[in-house]
Structure 1
Amino acid sequence: MWSTNDGVISAAFGLARARSAEGDRVGAVRTLDEVPPTSRHFTTARLTSAVTLLSGRSTSEVTEEQIRDAARRVEALPPTEPRVLQIRALVLGGALDWLKDNKASTNHILGFPFTSHGLRLGVEASLRSLARVAPTQRHRYTLVDMANKVRPTSTF
């Protein structure tokens, strides 16, 4: 449906989901990139494309370029988008996991050095930002606990 009528935006999400399930993440992301900027679903398509690049895969299946692509997509989203904090934490956390088995270039990602220390600071900051807007006290405490666990160790 999407290839014949790009006015049916839900078809793009369905096609992307099917391609992703088949292991064609590049095709899934390409489909989501076809959602026009004038669509009210444009931001959701961008969020979904960032998640599609990284989620449900082992770190051996992810490349630094895919992590950086996901980060660029997050940076391009409007700052007023409430889900940006969640996807930002996902990208930084995915980068941190990836770095355990791989070497990265020295460039920053989402404003943090692409090092274990830098990414830990980024994940911690993202989780604390999420905690500030958490809907319940329990949720907030859980996010703060997670931030404390990922926080880089102090030299004091």
Structure 2
Amino acid sequence: GDHATAARQYQTVWSTDHSFVSAAFGLARIRLAQDDRAAAISVLDTVPELSSQYVHAQTALVSVLSTRHGSTDAAEFLEAGQRLERLGLDGDSTDRLAARVLENVLVWLDAGGRAPADRVLLGAPLSEDGVRANLERRYRTLAHRAASVRERHELVDKANSLRPVTLL
């Protein structure tokens, strides 16, 4: 209901005791609902590394950073990629989250976003071709690990849709 009241309550709990990580997640959700991405990122970034929820907070932070927004720029995508690489998740989790980041980057680039020259995102150039190739590779890797034939086919179709058009 009332975002201001909820934000105050979550903030009180979070600032009082950082062991109540659910308060950080609640406050971050409120800040996102209030269209204050910077505050949401800041809150998620205060979850202690020793917390059992640290990895969840960082994956949420990667998602927030890579979600397109009116002011999204290449620096946020690059930060999301760096944070994801530092997390050291298992292959499947990394590929799924990387695919989400790369999908958002591709939409951003297609909408006229400009990436700085010679920048690398998640192991590939931050360019349309680089992002497409990286995303195609991630989809194919996920397809190999797919639990069902249907999921495998969907992932292969996505990978194929990203392949650059060639004359051969």
Identity %: 35
Shift of 1:61: 3.1
Q: Deviations over 1:33-55 (max 9, x none)?
A: 11111111111111000101232
Amino acid at match of 2:15: S
Aligned pair count? 154
Question: 1:113-124, aligned counterparts within 5 Å?
Answer: 113-124=125-136
Shift of 1:93: 1.6
SS of 2:47's equivalent in the other structure is coil
Q: Does 1:146 align with 2:162?
A: no
Amino acid at match of 1:149: S
Q: Which of 111, 115, 132 is equivalent to 1:104? A: 115
Q: Deviations over 1:96-135 (max 9, x none)?
A: 2211212211211111111111110011011112112222
Q: Deviations over 1:43-90 (max 9, x none)?
A: 1111000101232x45x4311111111111111111426422111011
Amino acid at match of 1:76: R
- Which of the two has higher C-alpha Rg? 2
Question: 1:76-91, aligned counterparts within 5 Å?
Answer: 76-80=86-90, 82-91=92-101
SS of 1:3's equivalent in the other structure is helix
Point out the structure with the larger helix share.
Answer: 2
Q: Does 1:15 align with 2:12?
A: no
CA distance in 2, matches of 1:91, 1:70: 8
The runs of 5 or more residues in structure 2 that have no matched partner are 1-12
The runs of 5 or more residues in structure 1 that have no matched partner are none
Coordinate RMSD, CA, aligned: 1.5
Q: Does 1:75 align with 2:85?
A: yes
Q: Which residue of 1 aligns with 2:16?
A: 4
TM-score, structure 1 as length reference: 0.91
